[in-house]
Structure 1
Amino acid sequence: MFKNIVSKQISLFKYLIRWTLISIPVAIAIGSVVALFLWLLTWAIHFRFAHTWLLYLLPAAGVVIHLLYKLYGQSAERGNNLIIDEIHQPGAGVPKRMGPLILITTVITHLFGGSAGREGTAVQIGGSLANLFGGWLKLNEADKKVILTAGVAAGFGAVFGTPLTGAIFALEVIAIGNIRYNALLPCLIAGLVGDITVSAWGVHHTLYHVDIINTSQDLYGLHLPVSLWLLSKVIVASAVFGVMSRVFAKAVHLVKNFSLKWMKITWLIPICGGLIIILLTFILGKPDYLSLGVDAEYPGAVTIVSAFQHAGADAFSWLWKLIYTAITLGTGFKGGEVTPLFYIGSTLGNTLAELMNAPVSLFAALGFIAVFAGATNTPLACTLMGIELFGGEYALFFAVACFTAYFFSGEGGIYSAQRVATPKIVDGGGGHSPKYLKRMFSKYKL
């Protein structure tokens, strides 16, 4: 018995050492490329600020992106969904060209004003480099799944400065209702090292401020640690956040499907998308909904940062950002969905706070993480993101917001390759939901 215990501990120690030695160089490589990407992205955005006429070249930029993927992209165009599929069941692998292609095309999208994010780029950089290291190290199928998951963690943690969130996101996003704990240590190491690497290169992340508020309540002589009135407002707002995340996912798919159905000449799709973005900007008379939405192009512009302040967003800023992003991504421009989701969530939170007489900065923070949680079906990761970005004082509200949004977002999300291991809602007898059963029957022709 003693020998058996010692043997298991030695095996565990070897496992820890092995994956530490594998994860660190992979994460350093990913963090370094992500740092380069963030530097280029900042340069591109501020260069467009100084040369606003670049927006009028957005249709031409879309054609360039289309041709790059048509000539060199092949399977790389599937992006995050390809990586998720490879983690589920390794096949042809993640192509080496995925990382450079998505980096270049995302920078092009932002340089000319397309409304997109950066998470997709970082995750694809992470998956591409992790797959490359896996080939060099001649890892078996099971280990390839782990290193790809760690690559996602490193990319996500590095691009947002949230290493713990990156680790849990990589584990949680693969399948709804199922977390593979065998990759927990490599993901945690990769997320931490990736974030440290970005900081070591001198690249810094945006800081957000949530005002300190009293969240307790006195009720009939009893002191409650949580205000029930504020909590009820959070639940109502979070349900709206969940519905909005579903609307966003549907909108992107709708634009893409509509474009492919009605435009047989595919290079015309990004031209039309670019022209619509230009027209909308001309009609609105301001560029607030272009590009990333983090830095302000001019004083008083609506950004994610401004949404944390009173009167920091227009009543329908969230709607315009949703429309801009759906058109940008749905017509073939490249980038991620997450930062636009942050923008939609924080500005919607600002609007709801004004309507409900609630703390603006808190509700902006809740919207920031909750819309993301609903769209990606990752409530645990997004709760941790709230803590990492905004502090732990409101952890309970972060959890309530993310889990409420998760349930109200319905089935599906922005990643079509994400599988359903356990449906969100089951019937009283413990069975699967009717929609889930219908889908399974159809899949296996039962």
Structure 2
Amino acid sequence: MGVKNKDKPFILTLSKWIIWGGLIGVFVGSTTAFLLTTNDFLGETREHHSWVIYFLPLAGVLLGYIYMKYGKNAGNDSAKGNNLVIEAVHGKAKVVRRMGPIVYLGTFLTVLFGGSTGREGAAIQMGGSIAETVNQYFKVSLLDTKILLMSGISAGFGAAFGTPITGAIFGMEMTALGKMKFEALVPCLVASFVGHYITESAWGVEHETFTIHTVPETSLTVFGVVILLSITFSLLSVFYCQLRHGIQSFSEKYFKKNHMIRAFVGGSLIIALTLILGTEEYNGRSLDMLEQSFEEDVPPFAFLAKLVFTAVTLGSGFVGGEAIPLFFMGATLGNSLSTFIDLPLSFLAGLGLVATFAGGANTPIAAFLLSIEMFGGEGIEFFFVACLTSYIFSGHHGLWPSQTIYEPKSRLYNLASGDSIGTIEKKKK
């Protein structure tokens, strides 16, 4: 019996989503594998040749020149980074296809010369760049264009961290607060899983692992402590976001959006901070101390040092990502709090990692799924409460000012729907 005519459009659309999502996943997975492998090599190179950090200001000048010369197209500015991808999903802008290669080069420069950054921003922007290429090549409709851009985000995040389920939801949850476009679930899921398996299986890239050795027994007391800690982690995310955006706004205004001068000054500040602290632990991605925070004590104010290093690096125009720095801040703060709180060290580090990310990214469901994929489902009830608590108490702040608020997090905030996080922050000032 043949397919009924009324079912053909559904089957055709579903087939296109699967094909396009798979295609995006293949390319994003391959480019992300290149990103992770190259970042590892450059990070090790800097560790063995610490003097290269003194060239960070010059690397900033080069990076600024590239963005000013080649980063703009038809009024769309690649320097907006993830915000441009979010605006494109909402139909307010268009992704510049060369954004991906530019942000990769910028990330390599930042990591090699000692800027404090992550990687998911580069992966997401490459995902958006590849998705836009697919959109134009296949002349995709406007509605499907937005869906495929979400798929690019999903593929980038899933491949960058080895968390395909988280990546699928992240692509739908990242763009707006209070609304998820479940119509995009199929292509986002396909793109994220394909991207993940291309990165790991086809290219053999290994991701970091974090182990929670002991989880406390369930009790009202422990839940109460988890809620209080999650509020603390949410405030940490707000502090970082405000400082990072403040530095960006000030430097753009003071230097008249000259990205070359901004990055030169920012790079000089990073050198000064490194010399003052007498350590390079907070340059680059700081993965060693992040992993250490799950196993043994780390410096008590490591979270604050990383916060300042990252805010200066990204606020002055360098690029990369903010998820790993947020992971670091939350995990090391949780580690430090283990001195005062009678809960397992690795559990507190994991709680801080996930809750700080949930508050900064405004993606509580993706953050919760991240805890499951990263920690193997250990302490699932605590992480669920932590993600929701951090999300609510972080208010309407976040990493990406272009996130649209379809529904306020709570009626207590008394905000109108439809504004972006950036607009609300400006109104408060």
- Scaled by the length of structure 2, the TM-score of the pair is 0.93
Which secondary structure does the structure 1 equivalent of 2:293 belong to? helix
Tell me the alpha carbon deviations over residues 14-36 of structure 1, each in whole angstroms, 9 at most, x when there is no partner. 33322112211121011101111
Partner of 2:339: 354
What's the offset of the Cα at 1:12? 3.8
Q: 2:282 aligns with which of 261, 286, 289?
A: 289
Alignment of 1:178-257 (within 5 A): 178-199=179-200, 200-215=202-217, 226-257=218-249
Does residue 394 of structure 2 align to residue 409 of structure 1? Answer: yes
Residues 156, 266 of structure 1: alpha-carbon distance in 2 compared, 3 angstrom cutoff: closer
Stretch of structure 1 that moved more, 345-354 or 139-148: 345-354
Q: Who is 2:40 aligned against? A: 42
Quick one: which amino acid aligns to residue 202 of structure 1? G
CA distance in 2, matches of 1:273, 1:125: 25
Tell me how far 1:10 sits from its aligned partner: 5.1
| Residues 1:140 and 2:141 are matched in the alignment | yes
Aligned residue in 1 for 2:60: 62
Whether 1:118 and 2:104 are equivalent positions in the alignment is no
Give the Cα–Cα distance (whole angstroms) in 1 for the partners of residues 280 and 143 of structure 2: 47
What letter is aligned with 2:87?
D
Which amino acid letter does the alignment assign opposite residue 28 of structure 2? Answer: I
- Counterpart residue type for residue 90 of structure 2: H
Partner of 2:404: 419
The letter for the 2-side match of 1:88 is H
Maintained 8 Å contact 2:176/2:405 = yes
Q: Classify the secondary structure of the residue corresponding to 1:304.
A: helix
Alpha-carbon displacement from aligned partner over 1:171-204 (angstroms, at most 9, x marks no partner): 1111100000100011011100000000110111
Which of these residues, 74, 77, 80, is aligned with residue 78 of structure 1?
80
Distance 1:263 1:24 in 2: 43
Does residue 328 in structure 1 map to residue 313 in structure 2? yes
- Contact residue 117 and residue 324 of structure 2 kept, 8 A: yes
**1:278 Cα offset (Å):** 1.1
- What does residue 299 of structure 1 align with? none
Aligned-pair identity (%): 39
Deviation for aligned residue 1:6: 5.9
Aligned to 2:51: 53
Q: Rg: which structure is higher? A: 1
The answer to whether the 8 Å contact 2:63/2:260 transfers is: no
- CA deviation map 1:139-162 (0-9, x unaligned): 110010111111110011001100
* 1:89–1:355 distance in 2 versus 1, CA, 3 Å: same
- SS in structure 2 of the partner of residue 436 of structure 1: coil
Q: How many residues align?
A: 416
Q: CA deviation at 1:407?
A: 0.9
The amino acid that maps onto 1:340 is: P
How far the C-alpha of 1:272 sits from its partner, in A, is 1.7
Which residue of the other structure, out of 405, 414, 419, is the alignment partner of 1:434? Answer: 414
The amino acid that maps onto 1:233 is V
Equivalent-residue separation in structure 2 for 1:389 and 1:374 (angstroms)? 18
- C-alpha contact (below 8 Å) 1:277/1:324 kept by paired residues: yes
Is residue 14 of structure 2 the alignment partner of residue 16 of structure 1?
Answer: yes
Q: CA deviation at 1:95?
A: 1.4
Aligned-partner SS, 1:155: helix
Equivalent residue for 1:304, pick from 290, 310, 329: 290
One-letter amino acid matched to 1:213: V
Cα distance in structure 2, aligned partners of 1:366 and 1:181 = 28
Structure 1: distance between partners of 2:16 and 2:106 = 35
The AA in structure 2 aligned to 1:34 is T
State the SS of the aligned residue for 1:356: coil
CA contact under 8 A between 1:243 and 1:409: conserved in structure 2? yes
Q: Residue 290 of structure 2 aligns to a residue in which SS?
A: coil
The separation in 2 between residues aligned to 1:165 and 1:106, in whole angstroms, is 23
Q: Alpha carbons of 1:227 and 1:48: their partners in 2 closer, same or farther (altered >3 Å)? A: same
Tell which deviates more after alignment, 13-22 or 115-124: 13-22
What is the rounded CA distance, in whole Å, between the counterparts of 1:326 and 1:138 in structure 2? 39
Residue 272 of structure 1: aligned partner: 265
Report the counterpart of residue 352 of structure 2 in structure 1.
Answer: 367
CA distance in structure 2 between the aligned counterparts of 1:380 and 1:157, rounded to whole angstroms = 14
In 2, distance between residues paired with 1:344 and 1:62? Answer: 24
Q: Unpaired runs of 5+ in structure 2? A: 425-429
Shift of 1:349: 1.0
**Contact 2:293/2:349, CA 8 A, preserved across alignment:** yes
Distance 1:426 1:56, change over 3 A: same
Q: Which consecutive unaligned segments of at least 5 residues does structure 1 have?
A: 216-225, 297-302, 428-432
Contact 1:90–1:145 under 8 Å retained in 2 = no
The offset of 1:438, in angstroms, is: 11
Taking the aligned partners of 2:31 and 2:221, their CA distance within structure 1 comes to 46
Match of 1:262 among 254, 257, 262: 254
Q: Structure 1: how far apart are the matches of 2:343 and 2:268? A: 39
User: Shift in Å at residue 65 of structure 1?
Assistant: 0.5
Contact 1:63 1:267 in 2 (8 A): yes
Residues 392 and 69 of structure 1: CA distance in aligned 2, closer, same or farther (over 3 Å): same
TM-score (norm 1): 0.89
Aligned residue runs from structure 1 range 93-112, under 5 A: 93-112=94-113
Number of the residue aligned with 1:220: none
Please give the alpha-carbon distance, in whole angstroms, between the structure 2 residues aligned to 1:6 and 1:314: 66
Secondary structure class of the residue paired with 1:166: helix
Do 2:65 and 2:259's aligned partners in 1 also have CA atoms closer than 8 Å?
no
In structure 2, what is the equivalent of residue 89 of structure 1? 91
The equivalent residue for 2:376 is 391
